[in-house]
C-alpha cells in the first residue's frame, strides 16, 4: 500500500503525487488547466503541440521533488525544513494556476500578467479550502510563484534554472516533434547544490560540472523561440487572436475576468458566436493572415522603439492607420515584433571546483559560458519584424522600418495630428 498516486507521463514516465498535491490537483481551478494548451496556437503548425498546462504543472511538481531529493542526497540532510519544502512543491504545482487560454498571447494584448491572477485562484473556491487544510497560506505561495520570494531555495520554482524551464522546454520539444529543446536534465539536477544567500538562507546553486548542460539549456531556449514560439504562422495566429479578444472586450461582448477564467475551446466558441467580422471563424479554420513583410531584427534601426511589443493600444492604432493608408479595413493588417530581451539571461551562484562561489550573471557569465558572449546576436537572429495582412497587398518596408525610429510619445502625437505613416 502507498499514500501516493502515480500518474503516467510521456516525458517523465511516473509522476508520484503526495496526498497534499493530489488534493490540489482535484480542485476545479487546477482541473481547468487540462483545457488550456501549453503552446497556444502552435498546434496549427505542429499538430502534436496539444499538451496542456495541466501536464506541465505536474511535470514542474515532479521536477521540484527530484531537485529537493537530489539536494538532500548531496547534503546528507534535507536542504530546508519540511514545511518549506512542501511550499516549494505546491508552488511548482500551482505556478501557472492563473494562466490565460492560448499561452501568453493575452498578456501581449494588454491583459494582466497571469502570475498576477494567481491570487484569485489561490484565495477562493475549493483550491483555497485545499490549501487551508494543508496549512499553506496563499500569501506564502504568491511570492514564490511570482519570482519575488527571498525565501530559501525559491529559485527552484522561478529562477535561471527552475523546474518551469526544465519541463516546458523538454515537453514543448517533445510535443512538437523537434530536436531543439533537448536538455540533459539528469546532469543538470546532479550539478545542483546549495550555498548561503546574503541573508544566510539556503540558495540554489550550480557546480562547475553543470556548466555544459546549462549552456545547452540556454541554446535550446534560443532554438525553441526561433523555430517554434516565434514561427511565422504561430505569430500570425497569435496576432489575429489578440486583435479578436481586444475587439470583443472593447465592445463588451466578453469581460476580461471571464477571459481569464475561460478555457481555449470555450473562449474560441464564445468569440465565434459573437464575432461579426469572420476573424474568429478564420482562425478556427486556420485561414491565417499572410506575411506582407518579414524582416530579421538585424535590419531594425539602432535603438528601435519598443512600443510594438509593450504598448498594445498604440500598436493597434498604428496598425489601423497603416491599413487605412494602403486600402485595407481596420483589423486587416497586423504588425508583429515579439520581445523577450532577457530570454538568454542567467543569474545564479556557481560553486567552483576549489569551493569558491561566484555569481554567474551578466558579463561575468562570459568567463564561464560561451553563449552569453553572443546572446545579443542570437536574440536578434531569433526575432523578426513581420506585417501580416488578411488580403494581398504591398507594404513599404522602408516606411515600416522608419516607424520604429519613433518613440511611443512621438508616435502617439503623430497619430493624433493625423499625419500619414507610410504614404
Q: What is the separation, in whole angstroms, between the first and last Cα of the chain? A: 74
- How far apart (Å, rounded) are the C-alpha atoms in residues 256 and 100? 10
Q: Are strands 357-361 and 347-351 parallel, antiparallel or unpaired?
A: antiparallel
Predicted local confidence at residue 423, as pLDDT? 81
Over residues 310-334, the pLDDT tens digits come to 999 999 999 999 999 999 999 999 9
Are the C-beta atoms of 100 and 115 separated by less than 8 Å? no
Are the C-beta atoms of 343 and 222 separated by less than 8 Å? yes
- How far apart (Å, rounded) are the C-alpha atoms in residues 137 and 123? 9
Q: What percent of the chain has pLDDT over 70?
A: 100
Predicted local confidence at residue 68, as pLDDT? 97
- How far apart (Å, rounded) are the C-alpha atoms in residues 319 and 307? 12
Predicted local confidence at residue 53, as pLDDT? 97
Q: Which residue ranges make up each domain of the chain?
A: 5-225, 289-423
| Better-scored residue on pLDDT, 372 or 85 | 85
Over residues 91-150, the pLDDT tens digits come to 999 999 999 999 899 999 999 887 778 998 999 999 999 999 999 999 999 999 998 888
Q: Catalogue the E-assigned strands of 303-346.
A: 333-336
pTM: 0.95
- Look up the CATH superfamily of 5-225: Hypothetical protein af1432 (1.10.3210.10)
Write phi, then psi, for 101 (nearest 5 degrees): -60, 155
- How far apart (Å, rounded) are the C-alpha atoms in residues 33 and 52? 7
Q: How many residues are there in the chain? A: 423
- How far apart (Å, rounded) are the C-alpha atoms in residues 274 and 254? 9
Predicted local confidence at residue 422, as pLDDT? 93
Over residues 48-69, the pLDDT tens digits come to 999 999 999 999 999 999 999 9
Are the C-beta atoms of 228 and 180 separated by less than 8 Å? yes
CA 237-240-242 angle, to 5 degrees, is 110
Over residues 248-291, the pLDDT tens digits come to 999 999 999 899 999 999 999 999 998 888 999 999 999 999 99
Long-range pairs for 81-88: beta carbons < 8 A, 24 or more residues apart: 83/135, 84/151, 84/152, 84/153, 86/20, 86/134, 86/136, 87/136, 87/140, 87/141, 87/144, 87/151, 88/64, 88/144, 88/153, 88/154, 88/156, 88/157
Over residues 175-217, the pLDDT tens digits come to 999 998 789 999 999 999 999 988 888 999 999 999 999 999 9
Are the C-beta atoms of 286 and 296 separated by less than 8 Å? no
Cell numbers 521533488 correspond to what residue? Answer: 65
- pLDDT over 80 at 2, yes or no: no
Over residues 405-418, the pLDDT tens digits come to 999 999 999 999 99
Are the C-beta atoms of 98 and 118 separated by less than 8 Å? yes
> DSSP letters along 231-299, please?
-HHHHHHHHHHHHHHHHHHHTTSS-HHHHHH--HHHHHHHHHHH-SSSHHHHHHTT-PPEEEEEEEGGG
Q: Catalogue the E-assigned strands of 297-362.
A: 333-336, 347-351, 357-361
Question: Buried b vs exposed e over 27-47: b needs ≥16 C-beta within 10 Å?
Answer: bebbebbebbbbbbbbbbbbe
Predicted local confidence at residue 1, as pLDDT? 40
Are the C-beta atoms of 148 and 185 separated by less than 8 Å? no
- Cα–Cα distances in Å, from 71 out to 75, 194, 195, 203? 6, 7, 11, 11
- pLDDT over 50 at 393, yes or no: yes
What H or E segment, with its residue span, contains residue 386?
A: strand 384-389
Amino acid at each position: 500500500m502507498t499514500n501516493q498516486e502515480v500518474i503516467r507521463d510521456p516525458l517523465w514516465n511516473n509522476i508520484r503525487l503526495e496526498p497534499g498535491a493530489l488534493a490540489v490537483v482535484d480542485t476545479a481551478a487546477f482541473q481547468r488547466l487540462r483545457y488550456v494548451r501549453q503552446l497556444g496556437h502552435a498546434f496549427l503548425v505542429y499538430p502534436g503541440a496539444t499538451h496542456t498546462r495541466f501536464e506541465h504543472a505536474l511535470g514542474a511538481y515532479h521536477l521540484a521533488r527530484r531537485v529537493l531529493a537530489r539536494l538532500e542526497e548531496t547534503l546528507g540532510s534535507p536542504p530546508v525544513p519540511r514545511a518549506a519544502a512542501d511550499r516549494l512543491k505546491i508552488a511548482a504545482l500551482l505556478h501557472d494556476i492563473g494562466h490565460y487560454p492560448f499561452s501568453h498571447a493575452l498578456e501581449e494584448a494588454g491583459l494582466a500578467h497571469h502570475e498576477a491572477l494567481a491570487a484569485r485562484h489561490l484565495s477562493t473556491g475549493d483550491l483555497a479550502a485545499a490549501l487551508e487544510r494543508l496549512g499553506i497560506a496563499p500569501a506564502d505561495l504568491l511570492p514564490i510563484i511570482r519570482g519575488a520570494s527571498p525565501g530559501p531555495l525559491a529559485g527552484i520554482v522561478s529562477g535561471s534554472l527552475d523546474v518551469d524551464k526544465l519541463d516546458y522546454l523538454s515537453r514543448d520539444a517533445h510535443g512538437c516533434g523537434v530536436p531543439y529543446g533537448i536538455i540533459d536534465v539528469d546532469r543538470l539536477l546532479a550539478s545542483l547544490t546549495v550555498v548561503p544567500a546574503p541573508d544566510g538562507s539556503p540558495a540554489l546553486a550550480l557546480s562547475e560540472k553543470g556548466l555544459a548542460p546549462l549552456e545547452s539549456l540556454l541554446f535550446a531556449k534560443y532554438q525553441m523561440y526561433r523555430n517554434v514560439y516565434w514561427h511565422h504562422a504561430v505569430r500570425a495566429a497569435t496576432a489575429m487572436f489578440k486583435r479578436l479578444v481586444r475587439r470583443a472586450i472593447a465592445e463588451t461582448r466578453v469581460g476580461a475576468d471571464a477571459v481569464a477564467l475561460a478555457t481555449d475551446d470555450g473562449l474560441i466558441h464564445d468569440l465565434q458566436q459573437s464575432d461579426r467580422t469572420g476573424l474568429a471563424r478564420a482562425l478556427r479554420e486556420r485561414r491565417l493572415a499572410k506575411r506582407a513583410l518579414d524582416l530579421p531584427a538585424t535590419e531594425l534601426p539602432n535603438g528601435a522603439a519598443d512600443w510594438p511589443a509593450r504598448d498594445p493600444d498604440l500598436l493597434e492604432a498604428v496598425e489601423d492607420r497603416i491599413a487605412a493608408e494602403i486600402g485595407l479595413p481596420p483589423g486587416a493588417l497586423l504588425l508583429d515584433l515579439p520581445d523577450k530581451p532577457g530570454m538568454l539571461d542567467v543569474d545564479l551562484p556557481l560553486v567552483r571546483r576549489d569551493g569558491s562561489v561566484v555569481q554567474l550573471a551578466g558579463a561575468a557569465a562570459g568567463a564561464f559560458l560561451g553563449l552569453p558572449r553572443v546572446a545579443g546576436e542570437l536574440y536578434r537572429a531569433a526575432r523578426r519584424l513581420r506585417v501580416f495582412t488578411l488580403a494581398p497587398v504591398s507594404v513599404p518596408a522602408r516606411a515600416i522600418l522608419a516607424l520604429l525610429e519613433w518613440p511611443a510619445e512621438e508616435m502617439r502625437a503623430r497619430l493624433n495630428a493625423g499625419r500619414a505613416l507610410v504614404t
